[in-house]
Structure 1
């Protein structure tokens, strides 16, 4: 399963990608929303997007909204260093909102399985 990871922090993106690869997924990395849209245009086998919340110019929620306006309906998981509030969890079109914490390996694995229906 190919997953697109979007994070402006290269180290954080690589770490998230490594967790997903360890779980058996093929990972593409993008450093921002524009690179993410380019990756989506170039690869028609992307099954899921995992994005950081706090990025310059276009944050994770804005990326989700932009993609939905373009008709992209892929499952979308948002990662944040903050404690996600209830309003964030209720964002339309969001499959999951996870905190980047010590439990991320487990919570991300469960969220990916749920988002992909497996």
Structure 2
């Protein structure tokens, strides 16, 4: 099962992909929203999108909104370095909003399982 990981920080992107690979998922990485849309166009079996919130030009929420406008209904998990507020967590179309913290390995694992089985 392929998961698209979108993050402008190459190290963070690699770390998220490594956590997912350790759980048995195949990952595809994108450095920004435009590269993410290109990956979605070229890969037809992506099951989930995980995106960083804070990226230049188009942030994670804007990416989600753009994809929903294009008819992409894949589950979408948002990662943020900040503590997510209620408004962010309740964003329409968002499967989960997780803080990049020491608990990310377990919270990401649970969120991915819920998003793919929900």
Shorter-chain TM band: over 0.9
Once the 2 structures are TM-superposed, how far is the Cα of residue 49 of structure 1 from its aligned partner? 0.1
The residue number in structure 1 matching 2:29 is 29
The residue number in structure 1 matching 2:74 is 74
The CA distance in 2 between the partners of 1:44 and 1:77, in whole Å, is 19
Aligned residue runs from structure 1 range 99-114, under 5 A: 99-114=99-114
Number of residue pairs the alignment of both structures matches: 118
RMSD (CA atoms) = 0.7
Structure 2: stretches of 5+ with no match in the other structure: none
**Residues 1:53 and 2:84 are matched in the alignment:** no
Match of 1:47, SS state, is strand
The residue number in structure 2 matching 1:3 is 3
TM-score, normalised to structure 1, is 0.99
The CA distance in 1 between the partners of 2:116 and 2:107, in whole Å, is 14
Structure 1: stretches of 5+ with no match in the other structure: none
Once the 2 structures are TM-superposed, how far is the Cα of residue 102 of structure 1 from its aligned partner? 0.2
Once the 2 structures are TM-superposed, how far is the Cα of residue 14 of structure 1 from its aligned partner? 0.3
The CA distance in 1 between the partners of 2:23 and 2:54, in whole Å, is 25
